Structure 1
């Protein structure tokens, strides 16, 4: 048993997960929060709302269901207004305009390199200075690339921290 755990149930496995939960008494109470990522594509957010309804139908308390806007360009309230309207009007689930993740290519970069934000940001290399002082053109380009990736990663990591704090508040 874990006291702190995040369990990611992929969209393709949600039905199996829900069926399994419905077979156990009190299973809905086993989790502190149910976080449902929501993107702006209509089919995706409609599926997210179906998931909210399914969770409610097996006894999950509404305040435990967190809709979490993901892959946002600027403002989740403008990009997925239906989610905010649903929560406000239906009083089902929870959504916070400060709990969202921006779309960023940094995620793909980190996944491809198999590194985390801390590894990239906290490596203490001054890639900007290295790029300026390097005489080898290939190395200069690589240092400049690393500088750009590092600078891109900083606000995204900050967004992750802020989103998590708002999500669990």
Structure 2
């Protein structure tokens, strides 16, 4: 499975979903196409190196590509020049959040992919950053209406990622949610034996992160199954 995470808009959680939802479940390294937020981790590649990216996709069956908002126009242009190169991707995941601008940009992204010849079944929308009591259809009426009318993408209300503090905590800890959960250290016992405040704080943060990671991981598992069923 070779997946691109893409949206013309910033602040929709592309890097977060690529890092925490897709890469761990596909058991692969994350490749970022970005020049601004190059500190997100993974291997960085400029949009101008699209031919190198194609080589990677042609020789690997599994890949997650995070396309930064600052490079999407160049990325789309490269796909236009390299005819049929979109076929190297098995799926385009398009995250969207509730704000109206981001929903408009999401529709523009899907239109651009469709214009390249990407079939609707390969374009999957993820509804991101929802509050637990949000109604997906109400918050994303524009997306559902567009999908029903244009039939250019796959939208499933169950593909909803809920807000969770673990995403911010994971940045501070420099770990993915999967890595937090995989750490078998008994941090409660270690906390009792901690010699200084720094170690105590680290133990506390890991305990809290693990508690949050359980619910977040369950949510991400469900979304992954919905995306690729």
TMscore range, shorter length? 0.7 to 0.9
Task: Provide the residue aligned with 1:86 in structure 2.
Answer: 146
Task: Provide the residue aligned with 2:173 in structure 1.
Answer: 113
- Aligned-partner SS, 1:6: strand
Q: Deviations over 1:122-151 (max 9, x none)?
A: 3334556777x78x9x68776555433221
Tell me if structure 1 keeps the 8 A contact 2:119–2:152.
no
Q: How far 1:62 moved relative to its partner?
A: 1.4
RMSD, aligned α-carbons: 2.4
Paired residues, number: 168
Task: Provide the residue aligned with 2:213 in structure 1.
Answer: 153
Kindly report which structure 2 residues correspond to 1:1-169, keeping only aligned pairs within 5 A, or say none. Answer: 1-74=59-132, 75=134, 76-127=136-187, 145-169=205-229
- The runs of 5 or more residues in structure 1 that have no matched partner are none
Tell me if structure 1 keeps the 8 A contact 2:114–2:120.
yes
Q: Where is the strand percentage greater, Structure 1 or Structure 2?
A: 2
TM-score normalised to structure 2 length:
0.64
Aligned counterparts of 2:88 and 2:200: Cα–Cα separation in 1: 53
- Aligned-partner SS, 2:147: helix
- Aligned-partner SS, 2:117: coil
- Aligned-partner SS, 1:104: coil
TM-score normalised to structure 1 length:
0.85
